[in-house]
Amino acid sequence: MTTVAGTAPEESAPNAAGRIGALIRSTEVDLRQFGMVLALIVIWIGLGIANPTILQPVNFITFSVQASGIAVLATGMVLVIVSRNIDLSVGAVVGFIGMFYAEFMAHFLPENLGVPIGHPLVWIVALGCGVLLGIVIGAYQGFLIAYVGIPSFVVTLSGLFLFRGLIWQLSGGTTVAPNDATFNLIGGGPQGSLGGILAWGLGIVLAAAVLGILWNARRTRRKYGFPLRPMWAEVAIAVVSVGAIFAGVGVANSYHWPPGLATQYAQAHGISEANGPLQIESGIPIPLLIVMGVTIFMTFLATRRRYGRDVYAYGGNPDAAALAGINTRWTIMKTFMLMGILCAISAAIASARLNGGTLDLGTGYELYVIAAAVIGGTTFEGGVGSITGAILGALVMQSIQYGLSFLGFNSPQINMILAVVLILVVGLDAWNRRRAR
């Protein structure tokens, strides 16, 4: 039976619910992730009903910047958990590398190399060294796990203690500041954002990329004579994706620089505000750009490269992976090194937002990151989980957190609500799996 291109297969679903299910299935969209997008929409509608002021663009921007540090780490945690491991050290490593950035810029560079803060290369050198440090930390933990054979739970628990301790050793027990101003743009803020025009440009590029990928996928499937998705489903996916991209850019751009900052900018650049205050579109914050870049890169790694295939194969059946000739130890070690790089990126975002390194930076991150991955559909049996799912998981969790705190809930109350959400989501998964069997 072959499906002719452009014609929808005949469906004779017995009832409306079945028909809707069949419709969604024929788009080949991941139902679980579709459900999470719906949940996100429901959460924000609920928050909007409770307090309409939360639906201002500034809140979406602040919220997404707050979620970015967790989201970056969650993409790596997916691969760690998929390969039947866990990383409890990410928060401590983020704190340690965050402190390293601050020490490096505030003390090491000016005092030892005579390079003052503000030198144009400072930010990239600091970031590069941080990433290197992340790789070394990941290699150390990954080696103990993959080659020495110590369980990852133990190694990374030890890592949690070790790096929390090293933060104090490195800083002498104090907050270290300031960072380089260019480096701080990594944390977002009005200046640390892609302005309005660039944001639209990026939106167009992303939309074109999505359409290109969809078109190319259909073309190769037709070339090989595989069953094709019905045309209407292709169009629906294209419209929704492109619509979501432009809606996102639109929201980001509808937030303008605060008047004081805009006036300063106008005076500095000799722009007259005689015709009313200067309106500068904020555009997309840099941390959000980083999350998008990391998501695309990690999805590519997980689904289009041998490394990703090896990780998932190992997670599904470690023996089968080894018998297939996969170098499973090196695969595991690489996963922890990748996690180290992501810690360095997340640390840059966090420390840039604070303009320095604090002793408690990253505290508790590991738990939010694991929760985001699990809410996103990653299972502890191994082999199952997706990068985009984890991003959605991070968004769901941060939406609840940000929204409820906006509504005046205190953080112990929010924690209890998150506890319920976590159990509900994973319980629903377990129920679904049992039913499917």
Q: Is 337 exposed, middle or buried (0-12, 13-18, 19+ CB in 10 A)?
A: buried
Asked if 220 interacts with other proteins (CB under 8 A), we say yes
What single string gives the DSSP state of each residue in 253-268? HT-B--HHHHHHHHHH
Residue 319 Cβ vs other proteins, minimum distance, rounded to whole Å: 6
Residue 301 Cβ vs other proteins, minimum distance, rounded to whole Å: 10
Residue 318 Cβ vs other proteins, minimum distance, rounded to whole Å: 9
Residue 411 Cβ vs other proteins, minimum distance, rounded to whole Å: 37
**Total residues at the site for other proteins (CB under 8 A)?**
26
Give 120 or 325: the residue with its C-beta nearer to other proteins.
325
Give 321 or 350: the residue with its C-beta nearer to other proteins.
321
Distance (Å, whole) CA 334 – CA 146: 10
Give 317 or 405: the residue with its C-beta nearer to other proteins.
317
Tell me how many helices (H) and strands (E) the chain has: 17, 2
CB under 8 Å to 268, separation ≥6 — which residues? none
Asked if 268 interacts with other proteins (CB under 8 A), we say no
Q: Is 284 exposed, middle or buried (0-12, 13-18, 19+ CB in 10 A)?
A: buried
Give 168 or 300: the residue with its C-beta nearer to other proteins.
300
Strand partners, 285: 193
Q: Which of residues 302-321 bind other proteins (CB under 8 A)?
A: 303-306, 309, 312-313, 315-317, 319-321
Give 85 or 398: the residue with its C-beta nearer to other proteins.
85
Residue 163 Cβ vs other proteins, minimum distance, rounded to whole Å: 32
The alpha-carbon radius of gyration of the chain (Å, integer) is 23
- Considering only 14, 270, 325, 408, the residue that binds other proteins (CB under 8 A) is 325
- Tokens 């969209």, located at residue: 29
Asked if 214 interacts with other proteins (CB under 8 A), we say no
Q: Which of residues 172-211 bind other proteins (CB under 8 A)?
A: none
Q: Which H or E element spans position 284?
A: strand 284-285
Distance (Å, whole) CA 213 – CA 216: 5
Give 219 or 269: the residue with its C-beta nearer to other proteins.
219
CB under 8 Å to 383, separation ≥6 — which residues? 82, 312, 313, 315, 316, 317
Give 279 or 327: the residue with its C-beta nearer to other proteins.
327
Asked if residue 347 lies in contact with residue 94, where contact means CB atoms within 8 angstroms, the answer is yes
Residue 217 Cβ vs other proteins, minimum distance, rounded to whole Å: 9
The interface region with other proteins, picked from 86-94, 134-142, 248-256, 381-389 by CB under 8 A, is: 381-389
Residue 381 Cβ vs other proteins, minimum distance, rounded to whole Å: 9
Asked if 433 interacts with other proteins (CB under 8 A), we say no
Asked if 376 interacts with other proteins (CB under 8 A), we say no
Residue 51 Cβ vs other proteins, minimum distance, rounded to whole Å: 42
Residue 152 Cβ vs other proteins, minimum distance, rounded to whole Å: 19
Dihedral sign, CA of 201, 205, 210, 214?
positive
Q: Is 254 exposed, middle or buried (0-12, 13-18, 19+ CB in 10 A)?
A: middle
Give 71 or 233: the residue with its C-beta nearer to other proteins.
233
Residue 434 Cβ vs other proteins, minimum distance, rounded to whole Å: 14
Q: Which of residues 96-115 bind other proteins (CB under 8 A)?
A: none
Distance (Å, whole) CA 47 – CA 61: 16
Distance (Å, whole) CA 115 – CA 109: 5
Strand partners, 284: 194
The interface region with other proteins, picked from 120-128, 260-268, 276-284, 298-306 by CB under 8 A, is: 298-306
Cα dihedral: 138, 139, 141, 145 (round 10) = 130
Q: Under the rule (CB under 8 A), what is the footprint of other proteins?
A: 220-221, 223-224, 226, 303-306, 309, 312-313, 315-317, 319-326, 382-384
